[in-house]
Structure 1
Amino acid sequence: MIRDDHFEVPDSLQGGSGLNDMTVKGVTSLSAGSGAEWAAKSRSLRKIIFLGRIAGAFFVSKEWKKAWPLLLFCLTIQFGAVYVFSLETGINKKLFDALQYKNIAVIPRYAIEFVAVGSFVYSLTYLGVYLENVLEMLWRNRISGLIAEEWLSNDRFYFIERAERVENADQRIAEDVRLVISGVSGIFMGSLRSLYTIVVFTALLIHRSVPVTFHLFGHEITTRYDILLAAYVSSILATGIIFRIGRKLTRLNMRQQHYEADLRFTLVSIRKHAEQIAFMVRGRIEHLRIVTALSSLMHNYFAQQRMGVIVSFSTQIVTHIQRVLPLALTIPRYLAGRMTYGDITQTQSVFGTLSSSLTWLMQMYPMYSETNASFDRLFVLFDAIRMPEEPGIILSRTSNSGISVANLDIRLPGKSKPLVAIGAWSIAPGEKWVITGASGSGKSTLLRALAGLWRIGEGAITLPQDARITFLPQLPYLPHGTLLELMLQTQPPSEEARELCADLLCQFRLPWLVAQLDIGGDWNQRLSPGEQQRFALARAFVSPPDVLILDEATSGLDQNTADTIYANLLARPDLTLISVAHTADIVTLHDKRLHIANGTATISEISETSPVSLLSSNRKF
């Protein structure tokens, strides 16, 4: 059972509403149980589960053969680079000791070793960066695909947009997934590298520690691990201070992403509706919208930059202090003859590396802030996908050959009085029905209920199990692509398919498009509304439907063309046709009528009348 354009009736609507668990080639997707179970969890727990799903959907899936080797390679390179760098500090000590004692004979050897080992460290580092980028891209591709699939499944994207639960969902999938994956990967890799570095360089600093004795208030105090203690205490204090100062930065980053997305959406909307804007002379109004979006973005940007400067300045002050600390603590030992110049350079290098690892949380705070903001935006989208719809109209499929409606009350959000009430309505195969009523009476909403896109209300709608149902909206959806691709949609191209498409275009009075089947572009802009409607009708019969439901799908056509199109449709005796129409010419072509007035639907037969006389009236219902 299908729907044309984005009005497809999914198989999952058989048993009710809500987002079901999905399996992609044997691998569970990001979904986590039923929608009701998901909603019952606390928001914090849902966020933790979502983070786990982001990791599990890549590392515990069919992608594991790529994911785990890449992860292990990255970690091995990271740890290897840290270990080799620890060896480099030893070579650095020997080189400066040789310089201090003017041991000319060994200086060239140590210099060559220092350059060789340093080059190897940098090579490992850049190889690790490359492999991390590969890992992140594969991970991002996997997560983006799964979230997009869940967003589009069961028409969740439609319900989310209709309820205005999430703004700019497309940009969250395109941009926020990238930022989250990059941030999570960077934070995870950096944390493990920092922990390993802390272990290695703490052991090295302990090994290189030299006791020193000093006098304080008449007491003689001897200490050995003051340098190590200074590294830990200064790093912990600095991290606490930076996190305290920078908490506001996360909120500003999230708000900035929101404003950036709004600006992009505004610009895309103007480009997409360029002709309408030009006809309506709305250039200055749209310019005002852009200026407003830019103003909000700019004010938040300056606040974000001010807070970023404060965090960066504080970080640099801490880093500068930590450069001076090892010198202040080693110079007394050097003057006392307990350390060589090489010991000072090695201790300073080890102290700096250890402090950098200990303050890694502080240094990555901007990344954490941006990642956290993107994660929150992505979680809001996923949360909206998982949230169940309220119980309402039940749409199911049975082995019956027709369509039936029983005790159907369609309501608007927050309203108790039904917009449309239908006690019983049955549509047998091959019947031609028309739905009439004043504007706003609920005709299109009734069609949405038949498509499973409107569930507010109560009652039951039963559709035939194996029937092919096609819904055509008033405004067809024509994405970028060639006309042949748009007509065949998911079907493979062939010479027979091309001939069928050409024949259908001629049947629906679009013969000039046959020569343009292989031309791509934005056909929403190239074709007039009437041409788009005829093209949608031709496309619907590439795989001939058993039931065709038209929501004023010929409203953009002149009367003569509309009559010709309907003559084509009525000439198919096996086709069940349901139309929403206003003009008497179209109404009287059908067999039966469902008329909506004051919230109540009434059913009547349409008397047979000569088609010639039918085409003379332009009365509207």
Structure 2
Amino acid sequence: MMDKQYRCSLSRLLFSYWKGEERKKAWIMGLLIAALTIAAVYMTLLLNDWFNSFYSALQNYDCQAIYHGLIQFTGYAFAYIAFSVYADYFQQKLALRWRRWMTEKYLARWTAGDMYYRMEVFSGGRGDNPDQRISEDIDSFTSQSLSLMQGLLQAVTTIVCFIVVLWNLSETLTFTLWGHTFHLEGYLVWTALLYSVAGTWGTHQVGKKLIALNYEQQKREANFRFGMMRLRDTAESVAFYHGGGRENQALFFRFLLAVANQYLVIKKNKQLSWLTSGYGQIAIIFPFVVAAPRYLTKKISLGGLMQIANCFGKVQDSLSYLVNVYTGIASWQACANRLRAFTDHMEAQTKAAQQAEKKMRITRGGHVLALHDVQVDLPNGEELLRHVSMTFKEGEKVIIRGSSGAGKSTLLRVLAGLWPYAEGKMELPAEGAMLFIPQKPYLPFGTLRHALSYPGEDAGDDVLIPLMKQCRLEKHVSQLDTEGDWMNVLSLGEQQKAAFVRILLRKPRWLFLDEASSAMDEETEAALYGLLPHLPSTVISIGHRSTLDKFHERGVEI
């Protein structure tokens, strides 16, 4: 049994789109798909009647009736094809709309409030490849959901339409058991029902483990891809260590984990294929076996036999819907579980952030930055900083020193609102007045102009070129409108120079530098730090070099 929390989460995944701002268009298109599906089923109902008349004409060598039947079949078949094609067409369009809507919502939530950072740093790996969840799983979930719902509608409609016909085609079955005579009305319907129930139960017993196996397979495949992506991102560092051999071992081990699970999936699919294939093949001949005695006793014609066989097949096939789509349901449920887990992780991080806000009392908008008895912990609960109290006045230039691992960078994360494991009281400037520069700046893919202007609007040549020359990036002026992966094109020292271009562009009131010149030579460092006094900025730096002291008025030891 699914617990209540899972059912609510699954219903939210399924129905949030149908209750959202696009619900009118979604329902109109959904009803159109339903109408086309029902119309296609109605065509199969007409074709079922056609079986009786056409095969009876064949049996009677009635040429005129045969030619008329062929023309009639052409019309029915064309209508059925048209209804089916357009039902699939609108289903794919609706799936794409649903995917776009869900992707927009998930991207907005993942990128809001530094969620992407919190899930990566504080989830202990439970974020489980958010890129795959948003790009692949949403696509699979929307398309498979609509496909399964359309299939279910088609099955239900077929049962409603054909079960009455099959009941009317069934004569009363009389048999004697334990000395008593029994009369069974609609025996063909009961036979189809029992056959389908037996097949559905057997399929579920064999295939229920596929759900967990598919979930685990996606996870292991994603981990394998992530390992290769990580090698690309850290290619130079690995190359300096000549670590290709170790990386090969690690990647191949992840691949073997995926292969091992895939063997289990293949084995389970083999068992399921034996059952479903055997079930399907027996279903072809089963109605003939059931109805043959009536044909052999000439109670029904060849057309009647074919009509019964076709009608029985339609009812049995619809009742066996779960058997036919069990593999698809297992894949869909595994996909839904991954999206549910991804949603739960984001909700957990949101709650953690809300709880952190309650522990840390923050006031904003003043002209000082002050910490009052602040305690900072590690995610495992271990104490990192205790009873931190310090004040920075607007316009000051302060350097924070301390041994590696003392908590200097973590303290900046607390000030930036990125570290939830802290409590106490802080007085902070307005949020838009603060700019944090990490040791390794982020440069987005695109033009160099876009990378230097990030995260604001692209600046013009008249602004950027003088700043690039001031920050000693003049050799890249000609590449301002060249697209590239600048985190790989520029050296770390040049990336840090690019960060200083951003500083001069933004002119923040409060500037926080975390080892922002560690990859520069001392002469360049002095030149760039020499630009900061000309800005209306309070500067708070973290650094180990004694050469930075002359650019700061006082020091704080952590």
Deviation at 1:214, TM superposition (A): 5.9
Aligned counterparts of 1:65 and 1:499: Cα–Cα separation in 2:
49
8 Å contact from structure 1 (residues 473, 552) kept in 2: yes
Secondary structure of 1:588's counterpart equals: helix
Instruction: Report the counterpart of residue 374 of structure 1 in structure 2.
Output: 335
Q: Pick the aligned partner of 1:281 from 242, 246, 249.
A: 242
Q: CA separation in 2, counterparts of 1:490 and 1:568?
A: 21
Q: Which residue does the alignment assign to 2:444?
A: 479
Say if 2:364 and 2:429, in contact at 8 Å, map to a contact too: yes
**Alignment of 1:432 onto 2:397:** yes
Q: Residues 160 and 144 of structure 1: is their aligned pair in 2 closer, same or farther, counting only changes over 3 Å?
A: same
Cα deviation, residue 212, structure 1: 5.1
- TM-score normalised per structure 1: 0.85
Amino acid of the residue matched to residue 204 of structure 1?
V
Match of 2:557 in 1: 595
Distance, in Å, in 2 between the alignment partners of 1:505 and 1:297 is: 48
What is residue 579 of structure 1 aligned with on the other side? 541
Cα RMSD for the two superposed structures: 2.1
Equivalent residue runs for 1:188-203 within 5 Å: 188-203=149-164
Is the deviation greater in 145-154 or in 470-479?
A: 145-154
C-alpha distance in 2, partners of 1:444/1:270?
Answer: 26
Secondary structure of the 1:410 match is strand
Do residues 101 (structure 1) and 60 (structure 2) align? yes
Decide whether the 8 Å contact of 2:443 with 2:452 is kept in 1: no
Letter in 1 for 2:19: V
**Could you say which residue in structure 1 is the equivalent of 2:315?**
354
1:395–1:452 Cα contact (<8 Å) kept: no
Please name the residue that 2:496 is paired with. 533
Q: Does 1:86 align with 2:49?
A: no
In the alignment, the residues of structure 1 paired with residue 27 and residue 446 of structure 2 have an alpha-carbon distance, to the nearest angstrom, of 38
Amino acid at match of 1:402: V
Q: Do the aligned residues in 2 keep the contact of 1:201 with 1:354 (CA within 8 Å)?
A: yes
* Contact 2:217/2:258 (8 A) holds in 1: yes
What amino acid is aligned across from residue 499 of structure 1 in structure 2? D
Unaligned residue ranges in structure 2 (runs of 5+): none
Structure 2 equivalent of residue 441 of structure 1? 406
Question: 1:222–1:381: structure 2 CA closer, same or farther, 3 Å change rule?
Answer: closer
In structure 2, how many angstroms separate the alpha carbons of the residues matched to 1:218 and 1:52?
A: 53
- Whether contact under 8 Å (2:168, 2:186) holds in the other structure is no
- Shift of residue 213, structure 1, vs aligned partner: 5.1
- Structure with bigger helix share is 2
CA distance 1:180–1:432, shift in 2 (3 Å): same
Mark the CA change 1:459 to 1:342 in structure 2 (over 3 Å): closer, same or farther: same
The 3-state SS of whatever aligns with 2:435 is strand
User: Does the C-alpha gap of structure 1 residues 206 and 538 become closer, same or farther in structure 2, counting only changes over 3 Å?
Assistant: same
Q: Does 1:270 align with 2:231?
A: yes
- Cα deviation 1:250-281 (Å, max 9, x = unaligned): 11111110111011111111222222222211
Q: Deviation string for 1:344-364 (max 9, x for gaps)?
A: 111111111111111111211
Indicate the structure whose relative CO is greater, using CA pairs within 8 Å and at least 6 residues apart. Answer: 1
Identity, % of aligned positions: 29
Q: Give CA-to-partner distance per residue, 1:415-456, whole Å, 9 cap, x none.
A: 45x422344322222111111001111100111111111121
Counterparts of 2:322 and 2:364 in 1: how far apart (Å)? 59
User: Are 1:141 and 2:100 matched, yes or no?
Assistant: yes
Q: Structure 2 residue aligned with 1:154, among 104, 107, 113? A: 113
Deviation at 1:539, TM superposition (A): 2.2
Q: Which moved more, 1:447-456 or 1:154-163?
A: 154-163
Over 3 Å counting, the alpha-carbon distance change for 1:217 and 1:115 in structure 2 is: farther
1:4 paired residue number: none
Residue pairs, 1:111-510, within 5 angstroms: 111-163=70-122, 164=124, 165-211=126-172, 222-387=183-348, 388-389=351-352, 391-392=355-356, 393-394=359-360, 396-415=362-381, 418-465=383-430, 467-489=432-454, 491-493=456-458, 497-510=460-473
Alpha carbons of 1:535 and 1:492: their partners in 2 closer, same or farther (altered >3 Å)? closer
Aligned equivalents of 2:90, 2:514: Cα separation in 1: 52
Would the alpha carbon gap of residues 218 and 102 (structure 1) be closer, same or farther in structure 2, given more than 3 Å must change? farther
* CA contact 1:235–1:358 (8 Å) conserved in 2: yes
* Number of residue equivalences: 551
Task: Tell me the amino acid that sits aligned with residue 32 of structure 2.
Answer: F
Kindly provide the CA deviation profile for residues 160-214 of structure 1, in whole angstroms up to 9, marking residues without a partner as x.
2112132312212212222222222222222222111111111121232234556
Opposite residue 458 of structure 1, the aligned amino acid is E
The answer for the alignment partner of 2:530 in structure 1 is: 567
Q: Which residue of 552, 563, 568 corresponds with 2:515?
A: 552
**2-side partners of 1:474 and 1:264: how far apart?**
27
Task: Normalising by structure 2, report the TM-score.
Answer: 0.94
Deviation at 1:333, TM superposition (A): 0.9
Note closer, same or farther for the CA distance 1:395–1:481 as it changes in structure 2 (3 Å cut): farther
- The aligned residue for residue 44 of structure 1 is 3
Separation in 1 of the partners of 2:305 and 2:74? Answer: 20
Could you tell me which residue of structure 2 aligns to residue 35 of structure 1? none
CA deviation after TM superposition for structure 1 residue 466, in Å: 6.0
Query: For the residues of structure 2 that align with 1:534 and 1:72, how far apart are their CA atoms?
Result: 58
Q: In the aligned structure 2, how far is the partner of 1:285 from the partner of 1:466?
A: 44
Cα distance in 2 for partners of 1:579, 1:395 equals 24
1:545 match: secondary structure: coil
| More deviation, 523-532/176-185 | 176-185
Kindly state the Cα deviation for residue 564 of structure 1 after the two structures are TM-superposed: 0.5
Please list the CA deviations of residues 579-603 of structure 1 after superposition, one character each: whole Å capped at 9, or x if unmatched.
Answer: 001111102320122111xxxxxxx
